[in-house]
Amino acid sequence: MGLAGFEVEVQRETDGVLATEDMTLSMGPQHPSTHGVLRFVVRADGEVMKEAIPDIGYLHRSIEKIAEKVGWHGFMPYTDRVDYVAAMPCNQGWAMAAERLAGIEVPKRGEYCRVIATEFSRIHSHLLSVGSMAMDIGATTPFTHAIREREYINDLIEEVCGARLTFNYMRIGGVAWDLPPAWREKALAYIDRFEPLIDEYDRLISYNKIYVERLAGVAPITPEDAIAWNLVGPNLRGSGVRFDVRRDEPYSVYPELEFDVPVGRGELGTLGDCFDRYIVRMREMRESCRIIRQCLRQLPGGAVLAKVPRNFKPPAGDCYVRVESARGDMGWYVVSDGTSFPYRVKIRTGSFAAISMIQKLSKNLMIADLIAVIASLDLVAPEIDR
Amino acid sequence: MPGLDAAAIHARLAARFGDAVGALEGARRDNASATVAPAALVAVCRFLQTEDALAFDCLSNLSGVDYPKRNVIQVVYNLYSYRHRHPFALKVDAAREDPVVPSVAALWPHAEWQEREVFDLLGVRFEGHPDLRRILMPEDWPGHPLRKDFVEPEEYHGISTSRESLLKA
């Protein structure tokens, strides 16, 4: 006597050959490795996937509709929620779009504060990404190291803007607060301490044999595919495309700063594999340290916020502004009709593009490798759904 | 090869497609655009993608904007060429009652998802799309939330969509 629903026909033979069927599995929406609430419908033959179809929308809050209701200044805290892992670039994208429409110039010191905050945000986002990637693959210790450093950076940012995750630091026209006294020295001291830790992290996990074997050669993406599927940021650069909005579509004070754009080279496997996407993030943290150092040294005096009317009404028009967020080229298509409320805001995010590619990437991968692919694409579910 | 400016890109489009491509709008790099007749959209996109000097290899952003006063839903294509590092935007107006725009998913694979999002939130039908269904909202959601006249339903499957203010005395 079997349990209801579990009567399984164990074997069906046809012409002496064992007949098999594909399994259809639901992975998520609650799953420790999905980096938020998202779901995959996996069709697998044993351990090998035929395909994994992403099912998104669980975190859709219609942030774009909210923008139309809360006004230009009022929308700033909502931008934090687009990508809460790296909220500063979202702040910056929104501020820049509004400034572009109204023709506002941000004071130099304000721009430097923005870049410092954004680069710290990039480092702490990459720390979470590489830390959780190691954990997803089965190495739990590196995560604690990464999170420890992320906490120190949160402390630093908290001193600047009072928040540790959703910063609401920037304003249309600059930033809300100047750097506190003696913060510059503290930040420099922290960068001096942090940079050698990247080497330590490399020794701990980056070139670990098991880790490398789980990543190298897995789910490679060609440069042509990466562009056609709209991959951006470290995912695009992991495939060897040397493109960074900060360098190639320059904004803010990035043209005054020196930094390299690391790209994947397929050094341990195939160009554009999971390892390349991982190692690009590790190298970008070093570049961010370089940028922060230069900013802190060159920091000019003066105001941090331009004079912007409280009842902000940019002239009618539209613009498409791009910033390099931690997950890459983040686009803001903003339409103004000349009133105190934005007419339309569309946020183009890196995670939305990256997850759309999973169905193609998942063919013939092991189910366990899907976890590595999700982690290497650095998906953040609220950024997918907005 | 260095990129072209918006005027040069527009000149090439105008020379090839004549009246199907509207005048160049916007003077900045971030807002230069041209309005395209829906019927010509796929041909214009293919031209932008395949012509060597243009080489728009990426549909960077796709968005829809509802303009009830003009009675259109405008679909905006923000294109980018990684090869030449130049941007350009196309705009297509679709009638509000039955907005239909040809799909470009055959040209840029990611457009498949981008078009699903515009369909979901604004109700634009993309003709020729391989799998046009909602992507962010639930399948049985009534209406398209980014339309200007969208009214939020009071409840969804018995779940209230509003609540009393917690700030009331």
- Say yes or no: A42 and A102 in one domain: no
Do A70 and A168 lie in one domain? The reply is yes
My answer on whether A40 and A115 are in the same domain is: no
> Do A35 and A89 sit in the same domain of this protein?
no
- Residue A8, pLDDT > 80, answer no
- Inform me whether the pLDDT recorded for A350 exceeds 70: yes
* Closest to A106 measured CA to CA, from A171, A179, A175, A174: A174
Cβ-based neighbours of B52, under 8 Å, separated by 6 or more: none
Q: What digits encode the pLDDT tens for the residues A256-284? A: 999 999 998 888 888 889 999 999 999 99
Query: In this structure, is residue A114 part of a structural domain?
Result: yes
User: How close does chain B come to A366, measured CA to CA in Å?
Assistant: 24
Tokens 């370089």 sit on residue: A290
> What domain count does chain A have?
2
Q: CATH no. for residue A293?
A: 1.10.645.10
| DSSP, res A366 | B
Q: How far apart are CA A351 and CA A353, in angstroms?
A: 5
Identify whether residues A333 and A352 lie together within a single domain.
Answer: yes
Taking all residues of chain A, what is their mean pLDDT, rounded to a whole number?
88
Q: Do B65 and A65 touch (CB under 8 A)?
A: no
Sign of the torsion angle spanned by Cα atoms A65, A70, A75, A79: negative
pLDDT in tens, A200-246: 988 888 888 889 988 988 889 999 999 999 999 999 999 999 999 99
Asked whether A34 and A28 are in contact (CB, 8 A), the reply is yes
pLDDT band at A12 (very low <50, low <70, confident <90, very high): low
Q: Are residues A210 and A238 in the same domain?
A: yes
Whether A115 is covered by a domain: the verdict is yes
φ, ψ of residue A351 to 5 degrees: the values are -65, -35
Amino acid A34: pLDDT: 62
ipTM: 0.89
Question: What's the average model confidence in pLDDT over A358-378?
Answer: 88
Mean pLDDT (whole number) for A195-202? 91
* A229, A320, A352: residue with CB nearest B89: A320
Please check whether residues A217 and A171 belong to one and the same domain.
yes
| For range A287-300, the mean pLDDT | 92
**Together in a domain, A70 and A39:** no
Distance from the Cα of B16 to chain A's closest Cα (Å) equals 25
- The percent of residues in chain A predicted with pLDDT above 70, rounded, is 95
With 0-12 / 13-18 / 19 or more C-beta atoms within 10 angstroms meaning exposed / middle / buried, residue B115 is: buried
Give all strands (DSSP E) within chain A, no chain letters: 13-14, 17-18, 23-27, 39-45, 48-55, 170-171, 174-175, 317-325, 328-336, 344-348
In a domain, A105, yes or no: yes
Give the residue-averaged pLDDT of A102-119. 92
**Nearest residue of A to residue B113 by CA position?**
A356
The pLDDT score that the predictor gives to residue A267 is 86
Where in B54-147 does DSSP place strands (E)? 58-67, 72-81, 86-95, 100-102, 125-127
Q: Does residue A14 fall inside a structural domain?
A: no
* Per-residue pLDDT, B1: 47
- Regarding whether A42 and A95 lie in a shared domain, the answer is no
Q: In chain A, pLDDT over 90 holds for what percent of residues?
A: 49
Q: Which of A62, A248, A353 sits opposite B85 (nearest CB)?
A: A248
pLDDT at A3 over 50: no
Would you state the pLDDT for residue B89? 92
Confidence class for position A375, pLDDT limits 50, 70, 90 = confident
pLDDT at A137: 87
State yes or no: pLDDT of A148 exceeds 60: yes
- Comparing CB atoms, the residue among A100, A228, A230 nearest residue B30 is A100
As given in the structure block, the two tokens for residue A334 are: 């903003």
Q: How confident is the model at residue A14 (pLDDT cuts 50, 70, 90)?
A: low
pLDDT at A76 over 50: yes
A321 belongs to a structural domain: yes
In a domain, A7, yes or no: no
Provide residues of A within 8 Å CB-CB of chain B: 56-57, 60, 62, 64-65, 100, 227-230, 241, 243, 248-249, 317-322, 329, 331, 333, 335, 343-344, 346, 348, 352-353, 356-357, 360, 385-386
Q: Are residues A44 and A108 in the same domain?
A: no
Amino acid A22: pLDDT: 80
Q: Are residues A50 and A159 in the same domain?
A: no
**Residue A169: inside a domain:** yes
- Residue contact A331–B61, C-beta within 8 A: yes
Tell me the residue range of the domain where A296 lies.
63-385
Residues of B within 8 A of A228 (CB-CB) are: 57-58, 108-110
For helices A108-137 and A141-161, the axis angle rounded to 10 degrees is 160
Domain final position from A31, A55, A79: A55
- The pLDDT of residue A118 is above 60: yes
For residue A211, give both structure tokens.
Answer: 């880790």
Right CATH for B6-160 from 1.10.1660.10, 3.30.460.80, 3.30.390.10, 3.90.420.10: 3.30.460.80
pLDDT band at A33 (very low <50, low <70, confident <90, very high): low
pLDDT score of A30 more than 80: no
In this structure, the answer to whether residues A172 and A218 fall within a common structural domain is yes
Residues of chain B with pLDDT under 70: 1-2, 169
Token pair 């390349």: residue: A276
Domain coordinates in residue numbering, chain B: 6-160
A230 vs B58, B135, B137: nearest CB: B58
Which pLDDT value is given to residue A379?
Answer: 87
Residue A359 and residue A150: Cα distance in Å, rounded?
A: 32
